[in-house]
Amino acid sequence: MSLIIPRKYRRKLLPETTEVAIKMIKDTFQATLAQELNLRRVTAPLFLLTGTGLNDDLNGVEHAVSFTIDAMDSRKAEVVHSLAKWKRYKLGAYGIPPGYGLYTDMNAIRTFEDLDNLHSLYVDQWDWEKTIREEDRNISYLKDTVKKIYDSLRKVEHLVYERFPHITPTLPQEITFIYAEDLARQYPDLTPKERETEATRKYGAIFLIGSGGALCDGKPHDGRAPDYDDWSTINEAGYAGLNGDILLWNHVLDIPFEISSMGIRVSPESLRHQLELRGCPEKASLTFHRMLLDGELPYTIGGGIGQSRLCMFLLHKAHIGEVQASIWPEQQIKECAAAGIELL
């Protein structure tokens, strides 16, 4: 995605008022989410030791920011991409029972991002994870969880409207569930991103089920690493995948807007299968993977919810740099300033 400059863009809040609104959104949303999903807050690491398998691989090709530790015989550490596997490890370490979980503030540096309205070098999100029973590993449980998250989004959107009545709500009353396989069959001549655009524009808010596994055209809708989301198990609809993305229609930019990637996590069986499909069975020897395969970790569901993205969406901002401090190309700063988009 290249930089989008909306026609006749007008910011709804001054920068100093925006800072107040950001705090209100973050404080309220995390409390609402914790109540809806039975989560408690924990402290998270900014970096992890390389070679443990605890850091996420995202699509399996991105490189983490890394450094050596002088006080530990130059052992290598890397800044987290997200905390999907670390959270699952913590659920097991804390002995959190089914139906309960944890959330944390995750901060990352992703140097490989193309910098635009939605993508920044700095990533901040609420990473959450919840212990479930083996029998909860199904689409019905996934959908119920998505509905609770979406209800939390709408509650905070209404709070923003109460505080700032000129920022009117745009989210539909309900979120629509769509399978990536069905979209591929419905729009065989469109790219995955074009399919997302058609569906999200039509419904306003969707949960797109099934990212990572091959669809009817032999290609995945989107990339997923093999060791956190379960994208290979056949679900109740007869398609592969127990995961997905929450996409909202962004009325400021006129594009689909991903606010969360989440899913039921791999079982020992699906982990081994997905490692084989991705051609990396050797990862089974890493610490995290070995614990999972040996049955030492609980069954879980989890995901990440973008903090800056949520603030950007609810405050009707045109650029993520209006709600977070980061680094941007000089030309992008100039183009945004000329359009009345003030980056922090």
Beta-bridge mates of residue 258: 247
Q: How many CA atoms lie within 13 A of 246 on its CB side?
A: 26
Q: Is 331 left (phi over 0), alpha (psi -120 to 50) or beta?
A: alpha
Is 75 a catalytic site residue?
no
Is 151 a catalytic site residue?
no
Q: Is 88 left (phi over 0), alpha (psi -120 to 50) or beta?
A: alpha
CA distances to 68, 202, 204, 252, 290 from 176, rounded to whole Å, are 46, 10, 8, 21, 37
Is 285 a catalytic site residue?
no
- The residue from 258, 270, 274, 324 that is catalytic is 258
- The residue from 211, 261, 267, 324 that is catalytic is 261
Is 110 a catalytic site residue?
yes
Cα separation, 219 vs 100, in Å, equals 35
Is 254 a catalytic site residue?
no
- The residue from 245, 270, 274, 309 that is catalytic is 245
Q: What is the largest CA-CA distance in the chain?
A: 58
Q: Is 149 left (phi over 0), alpha (psi -120 to 50) or beta?
A: alpha
Is 189 a catalytic site residue?
no
- The residue from 30, 82, 110, 196 that is catalytic is 110
- The residue from 82, 125, 152, 274 that is catalytic is 125
Residue numbers annotated as active site: 56, 110, 125, 245, 258, 261
